[in-house]
Each structure stands twice: as structure tokens, then as C-alpha cells.
Structure 1
Amino acid sequence: MSQKRIGFLSFGHWGAVRGSQTPSAADTLRQTIELAVAAEEIGIDNASVRVHHFAPQLSAPFPLLAAMGARTSRIELGTGVIDMRYENPLYMAEEAAVADLISGGRLQLGVSRGSPEPALNGAHAFGFVPPEGMTDADLARHKLELFLAAIEGAGVVASDPRMTGVSQGLSVQPQAPGLRERIWWGSGTRGTARWVAEQGLNMQSSTLLTEDTGVPFDELQAEQIAIFHDAWREAGHAREPRVSVSRSVMPITSDVDRLYFGGEVDGEDQVGWLDGGNARFGKTYAGEPDRIAEQLAQDAAVQAADTLLLTVPNQLGVEYNARLLETVAKHVAPAIGWVPPAERSAARVG
């Protein structure tokens, strides 16, 4: 198991409602950058953003990731996840490479088929309609193939001999070294976990698993992670893969915390019907930091993953969320094996 990392995942909501510190899109975008800066100062390892379309949330990740990369120097920058149904894979390869180069090679891009959304056939409105006999999910995986080929430097278009003097394959530019090994696929089932491993991608285990076997969420997710690791070894990939899980973790240390999240204490998994089948959604961990630490230490999936992403209530503002992250870093994360970056560096020097 590689070094345990923690990060934050922002859904990037905005709205002019009572108590919101992000009344507009501009507020959310600027505050996401500022929270990444604050998280890096605290010692957090990763700053990730959720991507949604046709909703008052973050939708265009690459300008934002580039801005976050320009303002920080160490923290990983990720997405959870980019819906490939909406993407032009070659243009996406260019944008991803630019953002990665600006950040100095710190992008950890999560992509996937996408999640349920408010738009009816939203990707079709963007001009991406699956050909006859192909589903939206099939098209998303096909686009992934093109994207991966592009960031690996493959010749994805023939040159014009009148311009180049010879006929040859041309790759998109620029190229970002190592980006291929930092692509993740968001997985919501055990079957998809195996497929992700076979593709040689890192895995983001979804907060919403679109299957339910009756076992607690963390155990089902841990089973998914075990399948992924087994399939990775069977595929014979040379490098060590990475796996992330996300959790809603709300330490209560003040009256304000209790006002917002006191009702989440002793929460349970949620089970429902989604897209024609049973689905299971993980609970919120709310309460005193010591108690949350004990609970996360017993969370089978948190222990099995190398990266824990904390979903933050971004509408409460940068100051509130920076304090939340600092509380988790100091009083919760050590219980799951996390070590602050400064201590890791000192250990390597020693």
C-alpha cells in the first residue's frame, strides 16, 4: 500500500440563499482556488472538484485547475469526475496537458460515464449523440480510448504533405509527460472495478454505488477495491495503482458546527432505487473528532484505499472549510494512517 493521502472534493455549489458564502459562480470559482491554497498550507495532499453540467455547480474544470496550479506548488489537483459523454477527447487532451504543465505535473484526473443529471440527454445538446447501436456509456468509453491515445502522443490525425513535406501521424500538442498514469476512472460497481484495472487506470470508487448486496456501504466498497487490485495483478501492470474513496466528514467542535451538522450524528447508509436498480450511498461522519477518527479507522474501504477525499460544504466559505480541513488533518486523519507531508519529508531525509 502506498502512502495514505487525504484531500478535499468540492461540488462547487453556488446560489444566493440564506447563509451561502458563494452567491455567484464567480464566488465559487475564486473560493475554490483560495481553498486549494489554504489546503496546501495545512498539509492536505489533494484538491479536487466535481464536474456537473446544466446546474449551478462547477462545470469547466481545466481553466479552474490551471488557476489552482498557478497559485500552488505541491498539492495534487483533481476531478471527481469529468463526464466523458460531454467531452471532445482531442480538445480535452490539449486542455489537460496545458493545465498539467502549468501545475508542474500535479493533475490527477478522474473521468467516467458520469452520474444522474438534471438535463435530459444533456450531452446530446453538446453535439455528442451516440451512433446507432451504441449507448451513452459505450460512447464515453470510446472517447476515453481516444483521450488516452492522445495524451500518450499517438498520431491521431494524418498530416497534410503540402504543409509537412511527408505524410505522417500528428499528435496533439502540448504533451504532458506522465499524465497517462494519473488518469482515474470513477467506478460505481464491482464489474466496472475489474474493467478499470484491465485498462491500467487508477480507480475512484464512487460515493454512490449502483448496486446493493445488503452489506454496509464500506464493506461493499472494500469488496470493489479488492476486485480492482486482483484484476490489476492479473493484468500484469508494472506500476502500483491508486484508489480513492470519498467521505462526508463533519467534525463538530463549535456551536456553528453543531447547528449545521448536529442532525447528521449517528447517520446511516442510504439505500434507494436509481437508473433501474438498487443503489447504496454512504453515510455522513459527523460528531466529535475523536469519535469520527475511531469510526473512519474501522471503515473497511477507507483502510483499503490510499486516498481519502473529504467532501466539503463549499457554500460555507473558505474560512469555514479550511478550519474543517485543519481539524481533520490534526485530529482525525492520523487514525487512518495519514502522515503530514513535512513529517514524510523528514522521515525520508532521516
Structure 2
Amino acid sequence: MRKKIGFLSFGHWRDVNGSQTRSASDSLLQTIELAVAAEELGVDSANVRVHHFERQLASPFPLLAAIAARTGRIEMGTGVIDMRYENPLYMAEEAAATDLISGGRLQLGVSRGSPETALRGAETFGYVPTEGETAADNARTKTEIFLQAISGTPVARTDPARTGGVSGGLAIQPQSPGLRQRIWWGAGTRATAEWAARTGMNLQSSTLLSEDTGVPFDRLQAEQIELYRQAFKEAGHDWEPRVSVSRSVLPITEEIDRIYFGREDDQDQVGLLEGVRSRFGRTYSGDPERIAEELAADEAVRSADTVLFTVPNQLGVEYNTRLLETITKHVAPAIGWSAA
């Protein structure tokens, strides 16, 4: 089976020396241009990270719709939308509209989100958890409402005074056929991956896992994927799910690459995240052929059907297009990818 590859942009912008993204406008417009360039290279998907209260991409749907309007084949998605900040019914309308504009190319990643600088940021947006409800509970509840809405489940009732006394259910509009099977859950543990499987979502295995059993990151991630697939099968869903992993890959082919990335740490990192011992994946930097060999041996990369490569977006479209070209020519073929 042919693997798919994509890029994942964190969408940073800073008005500092060396940055090619000095403003939010730069970040947004360059992401669109990179998606166009990536499609020409044969890359399968363009994906953006979503963060609130940061100089990063925060409102993905206008951006994804713009990418859809400028391209014809490439998928576009998120990694991930923090559901605590969302009105799930309005989000269902936005997602369906974006998917229709794209012709069914939306691959939407959602989750509880990652640690953030904002104190109770979602509450600032007006979404206050009920008493005793955790952030994870809140995100899952909203996700379930969102999934029902994009599936056409009635979520409102007609007004009998306006319908001749007839009362009936109303679904959100528009609806986009097939979108329900293109929703992904960003899972940071094996348990949340199993929940995603039972709920009937694709799996985005996180760039960090908020658990550590002492085994290398790729093996822990591969275990998560195996448990997910087993749970998906046991749940009796009648379709084949997809699984993605993300990797930081920085091939060095020119002196400028060595200046930027020649000293990247190439080992897993273990630390505390919100009080939980967590394991972070390594960065692959250096000779493209060596990176290809290492990725081909990566257990999670071998298990997944989709690999997303993070890009240093502040270096601009030209730099990242060259980076993606190196990946398509020298790295991705070793893991089972070929141009469509």
C-alpha cells in the first residue's frame, strides 16, 4: 500500500531578523503558496497547527478554504483543532462548507489540544466546563456533538408557528457527504487512541506522548497504533481508518541547512508535561540518505499510512519548497511513498 506524505506548518510569525514571516498576513499567504508548491511536487497533504493567543495560525477554515480554491488534488487538514474552544455546531457548518469547496479533500484533525500559555483560554472564549468536567471530557463531548452534526443528525427543532403546526428535526446545513470518515483524533496516549477507535475517527498520533514506558518513542507510538487498530476492528466499523504520524525531518544538502540545523538533537526526549512523564520524538537531521534509512526503520512510520513532515515555516516558501523537494526525492521513497 502506498504511503501518503504531507507537510505540517505551525504557522509561526515574528518580526525579527531572519524571519520570512514577519506578520500574520505573511504566515497565512505563504502557507497557501507552500500548499500550491507542495501539490506540484506530488505531496499529498497540507496541514496546519492551530493555537490560540499565540502568533500562530488560529482560525483554520478560511485558510483551508483558500488552499482548496488554489489547488486541485492535495488534501488539507489540521493537526489539531482544540475542541475546547469550539462551538461544535458552527464548526460543523464551517467544516462542511470548506469540504464542499475542496471537493471532499478535507482531513480534519481535532483533539483536546496541547499545553498553552493562556490561563483558562477556552473560558475566555465563553466555554466554561461544567462542575467536575475535565478539559479532556469537555473536548470529547464537543467532538461527539460535532460528529453527530456532520452526520446529518437533527440538532434543532422546527418552530410549529412557522411550519403550520408541524414539528420536526433540523440538521445543520450544508452537509458534505463523506466528511464524517475524514475526521481524525489527535491522541497523546494509548487510551485516547482506543477511544478514538471506538468513536470511529482516524488517528493522528501526537508528536509527543504523555506517557513513558521506557521504550523508544517510535516503539511506544507503534504500540499505540496497534491498540487503536485492534479497538477499531472490535468496534465493528465498516470502513478502513487511516493513521498518521509526524516527524521533524531536516535534510542537510547545502551550507545554509548546516548553519540552521547542523546541531539538532537526534535523540528522544523525556520530560514532565503538565506533571506527567512524557516522551517526545527525536529530530532527524543530516544527510538525506541516512535520514531515509533511519525513517525506514522507524516502527511507527512503518505502521502508519500517512507521514507528516513538520516545516520551519519562518524560513519562507522557497526554503520549504526545497526542503520538501529533497524529502520527495531522497527520503519519502524509502518509506513506501511515490508520486501519485
In the TM superposition, what whole-angstrom CA distance separates every residue of 1:190-223 from its partner, at most 9, and x where no partner exists? 1111111111100000001000011110000000
- Report the AA paired with residue 92 of structure 2: A
Deviates more, 1:45-54 or 1:154-163: 154-163
Aligned to 1:169: 169
For residues 1-350 of structure 1, what are the structure 2 equivalents within 5 Å?
Answer: 2-165=1-164, 166-264=166-264, 267-341=266-340
Gaps of at least 5 residues in structure 1 are 342-350
In the TM superposition, what whole-angstrom CA distance separates every residue of 1:281-320 from its partner, at most 9, and x where no partner exists? 1010001110000000000000000000000000000000
- Report the AA paired with residue 262 of structure 1: G
- Report the AA paired with residue 181 of structure 1: Q
In the TM superposition, what whole-angstrom CA distance separates every residue of 1:91-122 from its partner, at most 9, and x where no partner exists? 00000011111111100000001100010110
In the TM superposition, what whole-angstrom CA distance separates every residue of 1:228-263 from its partner, at most 9, and x where no partner exists? 011111111111110000000001000010110000
- Report the AA paired with residue 237 of structure 1: H
Cα displacement (A) at 1:18: 1.1
TM-score, length-normalised on structure 2?
A: 0.99
In the TM superposition, what whole-angstrom CA distance separates every residue of 1:141-176 from its partner, at most 9, and x where no partner exists? 110111011100111001112223321010111111
Q: Which runs of 4+ in 1 moved over 3 A?
A: none
Cα displacement (A) at 1:276: 1.7
Provide the alpha-carbon RMSD of the alignment.
0.8
Aligned to 1:347: none
Aligned partners of 1:148, 1:267: CA distance in 2, in Å?
Answer: 38
- Report the AA paired with residue 275 of structure 1: E
- Report the AA paired with residue 263 of structure 2: G
Count of aligned residue pairs for this structure pair: 339
SS at match of 1:332: helix
TM-score, length-normalised on structure 1?
A: 0.96
SS at match of 1:234: helix
Aligned partners of 1:260, 1:164: CA distance in 2, in Å?
Answer: 65
Aligned partners of 2:132, 2:19: CA distance in 1, in Å?
Answer: 45
Aligned partners of 2:135, 2:295: CA distance in 1, in Å?
Answer: 36
In the TM superposition, what whole-angstrom CA distance separates every residue of 1:265-294 from its partner, at most 9, and x where no partner exists? x61011101112101110100011100000
- Report the AA paired with residue 96 of structure 1: A
